Copies of this chain bind each other. A is one copy, B any other.
Amino acid sequence: MWTPSTPFAPPGTKLELEEGAGLTPKFNADGLVTVITVDHASGEILMLAHMNAEALARTVSTGDAWYFSRSRNKLWRKGETSGNTQRVVEMRVDCDQDAILIRVEQKGPACHTNRRSCFYRVVEQGADGPILRITSQPEA
């Protein structure tokens, strides 16, 4: 049985990477892939984060979203302190396998500002350049 300690195979040829059946993530120089997290029910994009091999393996094997925090330099299970956990409903990988897309059942807000999504500001054209308008407030 495959376990989280099993390493991912290294990326193969371009054809294997793009059309093959093997999950062979192309981790960057810091050992990370980028992850887009989507609310399964609404389709809303909740957050963007990163996984290292261990976080990806744990996510695949447990069904809970695990990430790697670049600022804290540690592995974390989403919601382990806040309770705002994410159950993975579907996982996808992009053409060159350096980005992951997960659809999750999000408990509570996904953003550390206590908003549902991290993308709570829209960029608009102001007279002196782009300005940000807040479109959602922190949950009570």
Report A's interface with B, CB cutoff 8 A: 2, 6, 18-23, 34, 36, 38, 43, 45, 47-48, 60, 90-95, 99, 101, 111-113, 115, 118-123, 125-126, 128-134
Main secondary structure of the interface of A (DSSP, over half): strand
Number of copies of this protein chain within its complex = 2
Q: How far is the CA of A22 from the CA of B124 in the complex (A)?
A: 10
15 more contacts with CB within 8 A, not counting A45-B45, A90-B122, are: A2-B129, A19-B113, A21-B132, A21-B133, A22-B132, A23-B123, A23-B130, A23-B131, A43-B43, A60-B123, A91-B123, A92-B119, A93-B119, A94-B119, A101-B119
Q: How far is the CA of A99 from the CA of B117 in the complex (A)?
A: 13
